[in-house]
Amino acid sequence: MTSLSFLNDHLLAMISRMADVASGIDDVQERLQKAGYLADAATGTVVHLAAALSKPVLVEGPAGTGKTQLAKSVAAMTGKPLIRLQCYEGLDESKAIYEWDYRRQLLQLQLHQGSGSTDLDAAGIFGEGFLLSRPLLAAIRSDQPVVLLIDEVDRLDMEAEALLLEVLSEYQVSIPELGTVTARHVPQVFLTSNNTRDLSEALKRRCLYLHLGYPSVQREAEIVQLHVPELGMHLADEIAALVAVLRTADLKKPPSISETVDWARTLLALGAAELTDDVTRQTLSVLLKYERDISVALTELSLA
Task: Please write the tens of the pLDDT for every residue from 78-103.
Answer: 999 999 999 999 998 889 998 888 88
Calpha distance 192→195 (Å, rounded) = 9
CA distances from 292 to 161, 207, 253, 289 (A): 35, 39, 10, 9
Q: Provide mean pLDDT across the span 108-131.
A: 68
Task: Please write the tens of the pLDDT for every residue from 18-45.
Answer: 444 566 899 999 999 999 999 999 999 9
At residue 274, does pLDDT exceed 80? yes
Q: What is the mean pLDDT of the chain?
A: 88
pTM (2 d.p.): 0.84
Interior/surface letters 177-211, b for 16+ CB within 10 angstroms, e for the rest: eeeebebeebbbbbbbbbeeeebeeebeebbbebe
Task: Please write the tens of the pLDDT for every residue from 209-226.
Answer: 999 999 999 999 999 999
**Pick from 177-181, 201-205, 250-254, 269-273: least confident:** 177-181
Confidence at residue 118, expressed as pLDDT on a 0 to 100 scale: 53
Q: Provide mean pLDDT across the span 132-147.
A: 93
Q: Provide mean pLDDT across the span 96-111.
A: 82
Confidence at residue 2, expressed as pLDDT on a 0 to 100 scale: 55
- Helices 277-287, 233-247: inter-axial angle, 10-degree rounding: 60
SS3 string, the chain, reads CHHHHHHHHHHHHHHHHHHHHHHHHHHHHHHHHHCCCCCCHHHHHHHHHHHHHCCCEEEECCCCCCHHHHHHHHHHHHCCCEEEEECCCCCCHHHHCEEECHHHHHHHHHHHHHCCCCCHHHHCCCCHHHEEECHHHHHHHCCCCCEEEEECHHHCCHHHHHCCHHHHHHCEEEECCCEEEECCCCCEEEEEECCCCCCCHHHHCCCEEEECCCCCHHHHHHHHHHHCCCCCHHHHHHHHHHHHHHHCCCCCCCCCHHHHHHHHHHHHHCCCCCCCHHHHHHHHHHHCCCHHHHHHHHHHCCCC
